[in-house]
């Protein structure tokens, strides 16, 4: 579904992605973790070309992302992206946030789109907030609407870029619950997160990054019980210490 | 000893009152048509100005610099008299047979004001967080669709106060249309003065009407933005 | 809202004050100042226009101003005026006398005093050659003229179905005619002839023999400025007697001029 082959990226002189090789199969849930500045956000943003790559090749759903000729919007419609800061459209209600792309990009009938949006809002537990504007919702609620917005396009892949990092602790649970549910439905997920509990429970594989490179790629059990790399060990020690659990 | 005799009846009833009213009608038509067109054109130019396609961007940049830095009066003369030299004969014939005075004034007012509106909208767009564009592009919207559905609706909301200013400027600037014979409000006020020599009365009436128009435009735009754009509270 | 109302009230109050301007006798004040300020046209040949060589305003009206200033014993200062602005400028004291192709009529005479007529002409039409035979040919057409002139009012009366387009001044009206934007330019024959004489493509235009009004020109002075009005009237009558007035006419309209036209009038006291 997603295949990185020798991918490099630079921000000016900074080498943010260094020879990335990674293969995410259909229906797989992959969690990417690592200290801040390790390049994990950049990695996930290359998958829908929010960040173009400089070297190597990257295939997503059969498309070659280094090929400038293909219609990126078509691919993006197949990929849901959930941001750390939610990025809901502040001028639209929760319902309209969800129906906009299905109607305008997919050409779905308004009624169908609204029915779909309502079922998604029910799924994330926010049916009664359909007419609320983003500014009237809590962070956790906004993020759940954002997930519903991504799902409304019936995507093949969902990407999560630190979806809980901007949330108050008491709201993290509600968002993770929605994501957990998603993983169980068999959608292809790539999740950048520090929520190791979530990784352990739902990930098929865990990828550990530092300084732009993938240092370790393993099943959750292997990774958490027997990390190979020194820096992975150090990272786990820090993040699993209760003092740092909210990083 | 010379004394000016006031006679307000010239502008409150009769033939001259009718002139002022007909001038007002034309001023409203001229302003309303130009405001709508200038707003739409301004949106377009603003989007072009921010385009990543170099020629489009440079065209919009040149457009803005050129039309913002040329006096409106010159532009009105350009479209009315100057266009004659560059247009084919048949087009001129046709233009002269229709109400080209009004059209030339609308074109000049629209283009001149659109340049200012475009800059206001552009600064509004620049104040929208770039994550909004990322979110909409991620949702499969093209750049232009993102502008249309996500960025511009938010930018325009922020831009309302300067936009009102531009609309008011346009309404007042529409008085320059009289230089090419469009019988709008100021033109009619001058006519009343020329016929009755009651200049103070005529221009006071015109002034009051312009102030009233400005208040009405401000109210309409403010109400519209409150009702339609600011529902989010 | 309150502030807007307050501002309006203030503006009105100012206008009321400005409306009652008192001015001293022009005869004495101009003499004391040593200059006579004369409002003339600067783009209406041959009455007042900028001479290509000297870059000075010259013309029939200018020569009358010069003669009056000379008689008064003052220097002459010329100020360019438009048809619409000349009367307010006189009433506000910006100029002392108007010599700007101004037709005498009753409406205007309520506001200012006129001298005896110092020129006589009639309102006609300047059109593209062969397009207009009689007045009917112009009905329903666009007619160009200049703002604030009697030409506009006469044209409206003579051609009720025509659209009158008033431009800021005659050259623009003539440009509109050249570009086919109007079917005719209408004003006093002498002004039309003057424009035509200066036009590069004069062969394409003509002034058909359709006259819609008599236009006696008078010099305009402030209402009630009796001493000055009497002085000006005496001066121009004297100019007629001495032959100076005819000499000025011949300079601009005589057989050797650009615009040869017979002199059909004499400057005499109005009845």
Instruction: Report CB contact under 8 Å: B132, A136.
Output: no
Over the Cα atoms of chain A, what is R_g?
18
* Nearest-Cα residue of chain A relative to residue B155: A91
What ipTM, to 2 d.p.? 0.89
| pLDDT at position A61 over 80 | yes
Chains touching B by CB (3 or more pairs below 8 Å) = A, C
Task: Name chain B contacts of C83, Cβ cutoff 8 Å.
Answer: 194
| pLDDT at position B56 over 80 | yes
Phi, psi of A71 (to 5 degrees): -85, 100
Least confident of A52-56, A66-70, C233-237: A66-70
Least confident of A116-125, C142-151, C181-190, C231-240: C142-151
Give how far A117 is from chain B: nearest CA, Å.
Answer: 15
CB contact, 8 Å: C22 with chain B?
A: yes
Confidence of residue B192 (pLDDT cuts 50, 70, 90): confident
Structure confidence by residue, pLDDT tens digits, B5-20: 788 887 887 888 998 9
Burial-class residue C237 by CB neighbours within 10 Å (0-12, 13-18, 19+): middle
Confidence of residue C3 (pLDDT cuts 50, 70, 90): low
Question: What's the pLDDT at C21?
Answer: 46
DSSP state of B99: T
Query: Between the CA atoms of B88, B90, B93 and B96, what dihedral angle is there, to the nearest 10 degrees?
Result: -60
Per-residue HEC secondary structure of chain A comes to CEEEEEEEEEECCEEEEEEEEEEECCCCEEEEECCCCCCHHHHHHHCCCCCCCCEEEEEECCEECCCCCCCHHHHHCCEEEECCCCCCCCCCCHHHHHHHHHHHCCCCCHHHHHHHHHHHHHHCCCHHHCCCCHHHCCHHHHHHHHHHHHHCCCCCEEEEECCCCCCCHHHHHHHHHHHHHHHHHCCEEEEECCCHHHHHHHCCEEEEEECCEEEEEECHHHHHHCCCCHHHHHHHHHHHCHHHCCC
Confidence of residue B200 (pLDDT cuts 50, 70, 90): confident
Instruction: Report CB contact under 8 Å: A77, B139.
Output: yes
Confidence of residue B4 (pLDDT cuts 50, 70, 90): low
Question: What's the pLDDT at C261?
Answer: 84
Q: Among candidates C170, C26, C25, C164, which has minimal Cα distance to C101?
A: C170
CB contact, 8 Å: C140 with chain B?
A: no
Higher pLDDT, residue B3 or A240: A240
Residue C33 makes CB contacts below 8 A (sequence gap 6+) with C74
State the average pLDDT over residues C235-243. Answer: 95
Question: What's the pLDDT at A242?
Answer: 53
| pLDDT at position C19 over 50 | no
Whole-model pTM: value is: 0.75
Give percent of chain A with pLDDT exceeding 70.
97
H or E stretch including C44? strand C43-44
Instruction: Report CB contact under 8 Å: B101, C165.
Output: yes
Least confident of A144-148, B3-7, B26-30, B54-58: B3-7
Confidence of residue B232 (pLDDT cuts 50, 70, 90): very low
B59-82 core/surface letters (b: 16 or more CB in 10 A; e: else): ebeebbeebeeeebeebbbbbbbe
What stretches of chain B adopt beta strand conformation (E)? Answer: none
Instruction: Report CB contact under 8 Å: C15, B200.
Output: yes
User: How far is Cα C198 from Cα C180, in angstroms, rounded to an integer?
Assistant: 19
Q: What is each CA distance from B78 to A147, B72, B83, B84, B105, in whole angstroms?
A: 55, 10, 6, 9, 10
User: Is C59:C27 a contact under the CB 8 Å cutoff?
Assistant: no
Average pLDDT of chain A to the nearest whole number: 91
Of C4, C19, C165, the CB nearest to B211: C4
User: How far is Cα B169 from Cα B148, in angstroms, rounded to an integer?
Assistant: 26
Give how far B134 is from chain C: nearest CA, Å.
Answer: 43
| pLDDT at position B28 over 90 | yes
Residues in chain A: 247
Confidence of residue A133 (pLDDT cuts 50, 70, 90): very high
Give how far C179 is from chain B: nearest CA, Å.
Answer: 7
Chains touching A by CB (3 or more pairs below 8 Å) = B
| pLDDT at position C16 over 80 | no
Instruction: Report CB contact under 8 Å: B138, A89.
Output: no
Least confident of A140-144, B64-68, C201-205: C201-205
User: How far is Cα A120 from Cα A116, in angstroms, rounded to an integer?
Assistant: 6
User: How far is Cα A18 from Cα A214, in angstroms, rounded to an integer?
Assistant: 8
Strand partners, A33: A208
Here the tokens at position A203 are 């990930």
- Phi-psi group of B203: left, alpha or beta (phi > 0 → left; psi -120 to 50 → alpha; rest → beta): alpha
Which residue is listed with tokens 């509270």? B233
What angle do the packed helices C226-242 and C60-72 form, to 10 degrees? Answer: 110
Question: What's the pLDDT at C13?
Answer: 57
Q: Among candidates C213, C152, C201, C162, which has minimal Cα distance to C183?
A: C162
State the average pLDDT over residues A123-132. Answer: 94
Residue C131 makes CB contacts below 8 A (sequence gap 6+) with C137, C183
The DSSP-derived string for C227-259 is: HHHHHHHHHHHHHHHHTHHHHHHHHHHSTTSSS
Q: Do chains B and A touch (3 or more CB pairs under 8 A)?
A: yes
Structure confidence by residue, pLDDT tens digits, B147-188: 999 999 999 888 999 999 999 999 999 999 998 989 899 999
H or E stretch including B134? helix B130-138
Burial-class residue C44 by CB neighbours within 10 Å (0-12, 13-18, 19+): buried
To 5 degrees, how large is the angle CA A196–CA A198–CA A200? 70
Strand partners, A59: A3, A64
Which residues of chain A have a Cβ shorter than 8 Å from any chain B Cβ? Answer: 48, 50, 73-74, 76-77, 79-81, 83, 85, 87-91, 100-101, 104-105, 133-136, 149-150, 153
Q: Among candidates A75, A8, A3, A30, which has minimal Cα distance to A212?
A: A8
Average pLDDT of chain C to the nearest whole number: 88
Instruction: Report CB contact under 8 Å: B145, A104.
Output: yes
State the average pLDDT over residues C67-87. Answer: 92
Strands A205-210 and A29-33: parallel
CB contact, 8 Å: C3 with chain B?
A: no
Average pLDDT of chain B to the nearest whole number: 89
Structure confidence by residue, pLDDT tens digits, A159-212: 999 999 999 988 999 999 999 999 988 899 999 998 999 999 999 999 999 999
State the average pLDDT over residues A51-63. Answer: 92
Query: H helices within B174-198, ranges in order?
Result: 185-196
| pLDDT at position A217 over 90 | yes
Question: What's the pLDDT at C1?
Answer: 54
Least confident of B137-146, C21-30, C54-63: C21-30
Question: What's the pLDDT at A245?
Answer: 43
Structure confidence by residue, pLDDT tens digits, A42-51: 999 999 999 9
Question: What's the pLDDT at C22?
Answer: 47
Q: How many other CB atoms sit within 10 Å of the CB of residue B142?
A: 15
Give how far B155 is from chain A: nearest CA, Å.
Answer: 10
CB contact, 8 Å: C184 with chain B?
A: no
User: How far is Cα A91 from Cα C12, in angstroms, rounded to an integer?
Assistant: 45
Give how far A188 is from chain B: nearest CA, Å.
Answer: 17
Strand partners, C205: C128
Structure confidence by residue, pLDDT tens digits, B80-121: 988 888 888 888 888 877 888 999 999 999 999 999 999 999
Query: Between the CA atoms of A230, A235, A236 and A240, what dihedral angle is there, to the nearest 10 degrees?
Result: 150
Instruction: Report CB contact under 8 Å: A76, B138.
Output: yes
DSSP state of C103: B
Question: What's the pLDDT at C5?
Answer: 60
User: How far is Cα C256 from Cα B53, in angstroms, rounded to an integer?
Assistant: 67
| pLDDT at position A115 over 60 | yes
Question: What's the pLDDT at C256?
Answer: 87
H or E stretch including C43? strand C43-44
CB contact, 8 Å: B4 with chain C?
A: yes
User: How far is Cα C173 from Cα C48, in angstroms, rounded to an integer?
Assistant: 17
Residue A178 makes CB contacts below 8 A (sequence gap 6+) with A123, A124, A125, A144, A147
Question: What's the pLDDT at C271?
Answer: 65
Question: What's the pLDDT at B15?
Answer: 85
Q: Among candidates C80, C87, C124, which has minimal Cα distance to C102?
A: C87
Here the tokens at position A237 are 């020690």
Give percent of chain B with pLDDT exceeding 90.
64
Phi, psi of A137 (to 5 degrees): -110, 150
| pLDDT at position A91 over 60 | yes
Instruction: Give which of A76, A93, A161 to mutate to test B binding, by max B Cβ within 10 Å.
Output: A76
| pLDDT at position A116 over 90 | yes
Here the tokens at position A208 are 């550990």
């Amino acid at each position: 579904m997603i295949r990185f082959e020798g991918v490099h990226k630079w921000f000016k002189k900074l080498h943010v992605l260094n020879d990335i090789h990674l293969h995410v199969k259909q229906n797989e849930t992959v969690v990417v973790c690592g200290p801040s500045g390790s390049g994990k956000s950049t990695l996930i943003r290359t998958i829908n070309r929010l960040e173009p790559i400089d070297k190597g090749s990257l295939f997503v759903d059969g498309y070659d992302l280094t090929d400038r000729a293909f219609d990126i919007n078509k691919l993006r419609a197949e990929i849901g992206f959930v941001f750390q800061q939610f990025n809901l459209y502040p001028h639209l209600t929760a319902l309209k946030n969800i129906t906009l792309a299905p109607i305008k990009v997919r050409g779905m009938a308004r009624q169908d789109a609204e029915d779909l949006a309502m079922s998604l809002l029910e799924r994330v537990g926010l049916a009664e907030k359909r007419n609320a504007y983003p500014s009237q919702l809590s962070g956790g609620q906004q993020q759940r609407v954002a997930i519903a917005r991504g799902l409304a396009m019936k995507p093949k892949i969902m990407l999560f870029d630190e979806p809980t990092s901007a949330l108050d602790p008491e709201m993290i649970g509600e968002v993770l619950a929605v994501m957990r549910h998603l993983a169980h439905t068999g959608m292809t997920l790539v999740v950048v997160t520090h929520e190791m509990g979530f990784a352990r429970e739902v990930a098929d594989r865990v990828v550990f990054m530092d300084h732009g490179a993938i240092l370790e790629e393993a099943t959750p059990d292997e990774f958490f019980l027997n990390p190979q790399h020194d820096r992975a060990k150090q990272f786990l020690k820090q993040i699993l210490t209760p003092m740092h659990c909210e990083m | 000893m010379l004394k000016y005799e006031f006679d307000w009846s010239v502008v409150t009833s009769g033939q001259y009152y009718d002139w002022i009213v007909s001038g007002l009608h034309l001023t409203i038509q001229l302003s309303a048509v130009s405001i709508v067109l200038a707003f739409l054109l301004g949106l377009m130019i603003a989007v072009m100005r921010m385009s990543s396609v170099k020629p489009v961007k440079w065209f919009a940049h040149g457009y803005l610099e050129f039309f913002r830095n040329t006096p409106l009066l010159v532009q009105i003369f350009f479209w009315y008299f100057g266009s004659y030299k560059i247009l084919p004969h048949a087009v001129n014939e046709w233009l002269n047979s229709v109400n080209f005075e009004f059209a030339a004034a609308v074109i000049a007012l629209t283009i001149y004001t659109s340049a200012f509106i475009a800059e206001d909208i552009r600064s509004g767009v620049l104040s929208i967080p770039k994550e909004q564009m990322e979110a909409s592009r991620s949702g499969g919207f093209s750049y232009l669709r993102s502008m249309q559905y996500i960025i511009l609706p938010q930018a325009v909301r922020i831009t309302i106060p300067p936009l009102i200013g531009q609309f008011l400027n346009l309404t007042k600037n529409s008085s320059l249309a009289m230089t090419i014979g469009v019988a709008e409000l100021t033109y009619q006020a001058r006519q009343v003065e020329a016929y009755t020599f009651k200049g103070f009365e005529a221009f006071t009436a015109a002034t009051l009407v312009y102030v009233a128009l400005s208040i009405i435009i401000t109210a309409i735009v403010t109400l519209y933005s409150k009702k339609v754009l600011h529902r989010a509270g | 809202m309150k502030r807007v109302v307050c501002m309006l009230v203030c503006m009105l109050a100012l206008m009321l004050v400005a409306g009652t301007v008192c001015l001293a006798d022009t005869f004495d004040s101009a003499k004391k100042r040593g200059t006579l300020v004369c409002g003339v046209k600067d783009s209406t040949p041959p009455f007042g226009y900028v001479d290509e060589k000297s870059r000075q305003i010259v013309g029939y009206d200018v020569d009358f101003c010069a003669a009056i200033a000379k008689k008064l014993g003052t220097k002459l200062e010329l100020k360019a005026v438009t048809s619409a602005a000349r009367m307010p400028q006189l009433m506000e004291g910006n100029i002392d006398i108007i010599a700007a192709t101004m037709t005498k009529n009753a409406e205007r005479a309520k506001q200012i005093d006129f001298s005896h007529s110092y020129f006589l002409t009639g309102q006609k039409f300047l059109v593209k050659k062969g397009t207009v035979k009689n007045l009917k040919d112009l009905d329903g057409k666009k007619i160009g003229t200049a703002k604030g002139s009697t030409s506009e009012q006469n044209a409206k009366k003579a051609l009720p179905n025509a659209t009158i387009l008033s431009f800021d001044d005659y050259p623009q009206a003539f440009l509109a005619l050249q570009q086919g934007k109007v079917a005719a330019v209408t004003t006093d024959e002498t002004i039309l002839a003057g424009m035509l004489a200066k036009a590069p493509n004069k062969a394409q235009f003509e002034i058909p023999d359709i006259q819609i009004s008599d236009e006696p020109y008078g010099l305009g002075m402030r209402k009630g400025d009796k001493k000055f009005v009497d002085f000006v009237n005496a001066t121009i009558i004297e100019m007629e007697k001495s032959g100076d007035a005819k000499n000025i006419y011949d300079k601009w309209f005589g057989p050797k001029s650009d615009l040869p036209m017979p002199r059909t009038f004499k400057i005499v006291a109005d009845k």
